[in-house]
Structure 1
């Protein structure tokens, strides 16, 4: 198969595997995202500085551990989440996870497309009528690097990630000066209220859909150590940094988005650069994820075509008002995405004992009803849980799958014994 197509329906071969810096650049570029800062902003108004540090640490440790677990499975098998879904949900049943994962990624793409157009209109004081043409421009423009494949994502991220880190450092430095030093920052008190459980849910749920599909890149890792290290760097450290940036901005400037903070600090050019690098490095990864799910759903290797079609759908959704639907969308993600990853990891470690056979070497059923029922149970538990919904969904789905596998195994032994 042509390596330029990034193996949408097969395992990544050994000669196409990547090193740590390559993996880390792509994954960090993915997690450096505006919406994560907005989620952090809600913490900045509800908790003091020390409490924010604890919530960011716990929430992102949970998220990083979840994503790293999936990353190791992806490395071992060379497969991404939607292909692993064939084992867990069946050849036809996996289309359920394809749809759920694809829908969430196209929703993110729509939100990012609308965000950059709206913010750019505001920053440059352009007429509001420019918003729609800009959404069309960016909606199709951002998918170019994704349509090329992993190599383009890697090049873009290696340029953008160091640049964004520099701008974040500049923002912190100026912020500490403006607030009067670290002592004044720590002394600031919250103006709103939020429970610890809800706060951790916000941190975990904001990028759990991305963590579930980060296997699209971790499957390219040369070793398990590289897959786990790069994923933890992105989802524990990188995503944690984004949440903290949002909380910091809300504490000091009552603005959670670093672009708005940089503008208020007088760094207009830096703000525009940050806007483009921040959105672009996530948008191309997001539409790449959609294409991976779409290829598995339609059983086609035409990844570039699916990428362009996804960009068109996302652009239409952006024009229709996706920008105003972020909070309900985040709740949806935190509820229905984590059980998929939980079942895949349980499948790998419990059913296959860490040694999954290749797709070409196993006769998979059309529907794996144990996996499907476990997903329904886990999602329902997350939906009705008053506690940390994503974590509840992961634990319940995994336990339900273990129980259903045990029951099915016991039945099979009974039938064979008879």
Structure 2
């Protein structure tokens, strides 16, 4: 239980989560952002917890679960997509590492990104034990430094002022639907492949404890660090991807020891999430191509570093929107299939067309919501429609077979 919990807790308790909290507070105001954070994390607890329970119960990774639902050949599309998206997430996080170090210390962006990427590949190469160990280092560091940043920033104002913070320049522009999508999409890809981690859990109880340590605990804590800091300082035109984040705040104190600690913390902290994403990507593609996880960790890690060097992190918000459209239906379909429609089913055929039709329905509706109904949540719409469509299609098919 402790090992799997440390793997999960070290995943979302990261600087990027704090940046996301800042983005939400800037766009929604603090009180509305807080609601979005809490509701979004509770949805993730249920979603990831149920998927993780399947992995723990069956002892299967995500690719095997997807093979039951999408087919022994069809799973390649679901697993391949998620593994590729997770590689992209690895590239985004590695690029953010290089960008923060480069802008803060006036060092070469490409060189800092290469160093970060190489370190993260090394952690992933160790395997799930490496994720456990870096989580044990990253989590305490984040808790200590996060509490200090929040306390120091909050001391400049009052908690009433923080709760009443209206948003960037006094104008809240982000709807609740968009806010929920941002919260959910931040870890929807890794959450969908939770069986890759939770298959190592001793039992289903351990799986749920580990999931709870991430959602809502670690993810909400990270978002609150950024959100409270942003609301307390109330900097006009704040830029969470520049200096207006906890890393920039620590360096702004102009204390050498704190700057050194901030530098080390950045690499360890983002190294945790990058190693997790690369592990998931390597696990997925190594099974698809029938090779070894460690070999693909090196290959995909190198590809990710090249992508990161192109400043891909600058498309962070667009990246979350894409994840909110494509990913939620996959997990929702697996949950409906394994808990409602075909309990205890096994891999029985190469392709299961009904799963792909439902996936298409969910993503199509999410695309419409993204462009024409921005007040709604893209991620929630995608999951509900995908899961609902699969249940209806499966029920109609069962009635036809019975007749």
TM-score under structure 1 length normalisation: 0.87
How much does 1:265 deviate? Answer: 4.0
Cα contact 1:167–1:270 (8 A) shared by 2: no
Q: What's the counterpart of residue 264 of structure 1? A: 252
Q: 1:406 and 2:390 equivalent?
A: no
How much does 1:261 deviate? Answer: 2.2
Cα contact 2:142–2:269 (8 A) shared by 1: yes
Deviating more after overlay: 230-239 vs 185-194 = 185-194
Q: For residues 209 and 316 of structure 1, do their structure 2 counterparts lie closer, same or farther at Cα, with a shift above 3 Å needed? A: same
Note the 1:245-284 alignment, pairs <5 A: 245-253=225-233, 254=238, 256=240, 257-266=245-254, 267-284=258-275
Which residue among 69, 75, 83 is the counterpart of 1:88?
A: 69
Q: For residues 265 and 64 of structure 1, do their structure 2 counterparts lie closer, same or farther at Cα, with a shift above 3 Å needed? A: farther
Provide, for residues 183-202 of structure 1, a one-character-per-residue CA deviation record: whole Å limited to 9, x for no partner. 33234332232211111111
Taking the aligned partners of 2:80 and 2:289, their CA distance within structure 1 comes to 11
Provide, for residues 207-258 of structure 1, a one-character-per-residue CA deviation record: whole Å limited to 9, x for no partner. 2112112221111111211111211220211111222222223223345432
Deviating more after overlay: 258-267 vs 379-388 = 258-267
Taking the aligned partners of 2:397 and 2:163, their CA distance within structure 1 comes to 55
Q: What's the counterpart of residue 309 of structure 2? A: 319
Which residue among 225, 229, 239 is the counterpart of 2:205?
A: 225
Provide, for residues 90-112 of structure 1, a one-character-per-residue CA deviation record: whole Å limited to 9, x for no partner. 11111111221012111111111
Q: 1:76 and 2:47 equivalent?
A: no
Which residue among 152, 175, 182 is the counterpart of 1:202?
A: 182
How much does 1:26 deviate? Answer: 0.7
1:312 aligned counterpart, secondary structure: helix
Note the 1:110-149 alignment, pairs <5 A: 110-126=91-107, 130-149=108-127
Q: What's the counterpart of residue 239 of structure 1? A: 219
Taking the aligned partners of 1:167 and 1:143, their CA distance within structure 2 comes to 25
Taking the aligned partners of 2:17 and 2:138, their CA distance within structure 1 comes to 17
Q: 1:365 and 2:314 equivalent?
A: no
Q: What's the counterpart of residue 361 of structure 2? A: 377
Cα contact 1:95–1:296 (8 A) shared by 2: no
Taking the aligned partners of 1:32 and 1:23, their CA distance within structure 2 comes to 15
Cα contact 1:249–1:255 (8 A) shared by 2: no
Q: What's the counterpart of residue 34 of structure 2? A: 53
Which residue among 291, 294, 298 is the counterpart of 1:304?
A: 294
Q: What's the counterpart of residue 101 of structure 1? A: 82
Provide, for residues 278-305 of structure 1, a one-character-per-residue CA deviation record: whole Å limited to 9, x for no partner. 20110110100101110232133x1111
Q: 1:212 and 2:196 equivalent?
A: no
Taking the aligned partners of 1:410 and 1:352, their CA distance within structure 2 comes to 14
Q: 1:177 and 2:155 equivalent?
A: yes
Q: What's the counterpart of residue 14 of structure 1? A: none
Q: 1:350 and 2:340 equivalent?
A: yes
Structure 1: unaligned runs, 5 residues or longer: 1-18
Provide, for residues 100-156 of structure 1, a one-character-per-residue CA deviation record: whole Å limited to 9, x for no partner. 101211111111111111211222222xxx221222222222111211211121112
Taking the aligned partners of 2:123 and 2:261, their CA distance within structure 1 comes to 23
Paired positions, count: 384
Which residue among 9, 19, 35 is the counterpart of 1:38?
A: 19
Structure 2: unaligned runs, 5 residues or longer: none
Q: For residues 28 and 255 of structure 1, do their structure 2 counterparts lie closer, same or farther at Cα, with a shift above 3 Å needed? A: farther
Taking the aligned partners of 2:161 and 2:399, their CA distance within structure 1 comes to 63
Taking the aligned partners of 2:17 and 2:89, their CA distance within structure 1 comes to 12
Q: What's the counterpart of residue 384 of structure 2? A: 395
Deviating more after overlay: 42-51 vs 323-332 = 42-51
Q: 1:291 and 2:275 equivalent?
A: no
Cα contact 2:41–2:219 (8 A) shared by 1: yes
Runs of 4+ in 1 over 4 A off after TM superposition: none
Deviating more after overlay: 315-324 vs 166-175 = 315-324
Cα contact 1:174–1:265 (8 A) shared by 2: no
Q: 1:155 and 2:133 equivalent?
A: yes
Provide, for residues 336-365 of structure 1, a one-character-per-residue CA deviation record: whole Å limited to 9, x for no partner. 011111111111112332x344xxxx5x21
